Amino acid sequence: MDVLYFAWVRERIGLPKERVETNAATVAELVEELRAREERYAMAFEDLSALRVALDQELSDFDAPLDGVREVAFFPPMTGG
Partner 1 sequence: MDIRVLADPFDFGAEAQGFAARQSASGAVVTFTGIVRDTDAGLLAMEIEHYPGMTESQLTGFAEQARKRWALEDVLVIHRHGRMEPGDMIMMVATAARHRKDAFDAAEFLMDFLKSRAPFWKREITRDGASDWVQSKDDDEDALSRW
Cβ-based nearer residue to partner 1, 7 or 25? 7
Q: Does 78 bind partner 1 (CB under 8 A)?
A: yes
| Antiparallel, parallel or unpaired: β 58-60 and 52-55 | antiparallel
The rounded distance, in Å, linking the Cα atoms of 33 and 66 is 14
The rounded distance, in Å, linking the Cα atoms of 64 and 28 is 8
Q: Does 7 bind partner 1 (CB under 8 A)?
A: yes
Least CB distance to partner 1 at residue 78 (A)? 6
Q: Does 68 bind partner 1 (CB under 8 A)?
A: no
Cβ-based nearer residue to partner 1, 38 or 58? 58
